[in-house]
């Protein structure tokens, strides 16, 4: 039994009981969505991008930027809201390091600093 989608407190608004504190310590492997070729083109594996939350009106997106602050694309992996939460709620900074570039797909490791 995992709880999960089965739930175990459907209206639960609490931060949880114990555990969960290391959510912001996790790293993720994910592709960059909506990649900006002009920004990513010059970069190779090993290049490091900034991870930021872009808020516009009532919407937020998790984005990656190059060293000059140019938008390189978005991160939309399953559960990426956890990273947004860690940035917004706890002020934790993340970096995205390019792992592979295959067929125009840039895969990055997203990890806290």
> Could you tell me the smallest distance in angstroms from the CB atom of residue 113 to another protein?
20
Write down how long the chain is.
Answer: 113
- Residue 46 interacts with another protein (CB under 8 A): yes or no: no
Residue corresponding to tokens 């939350």: 53
- Residue 14 interacts with another protein (CB under 8 A): yes or no: yes
Q: Are 56 and 96 in contact (CB under 8 A)?
A: no
Q: Are 99 and 29 in contact (CB under 8 A)?
A: yes
**For binding to another protein (CB under 8 A), which residues are involved?**
1, 3-19, 23, 29-31, 33-34, 55-56, 58-63, 74, 76-79, 81-82, 84-85, 88-89, 102-103, 105, 107
């Amino acid at each position: 039994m995992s709880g999960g989608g089965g739930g175990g407190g459907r209206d639960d608004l609490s931060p949880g009981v114990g555990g969960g504190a290391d959510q912001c310590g996790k790293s993720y492997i994910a592709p960059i969505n909506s990649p900006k070729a002009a920004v990513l083109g010059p970069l190779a594996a090993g290049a490091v991008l900034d991870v930021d939350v872009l808020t516009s009106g009532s919407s937020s997106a998790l984005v990656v930027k190059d060293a000059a602050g140019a938008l390189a694309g978005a991160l939309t992996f399953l559960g990426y809201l956890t990273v947004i939460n860690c940035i917004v709620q706890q002020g934790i900074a993340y970096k995205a390091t390019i792992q592979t570039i295959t067929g125009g797909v840039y895969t990055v490791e997203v990890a806290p600093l």
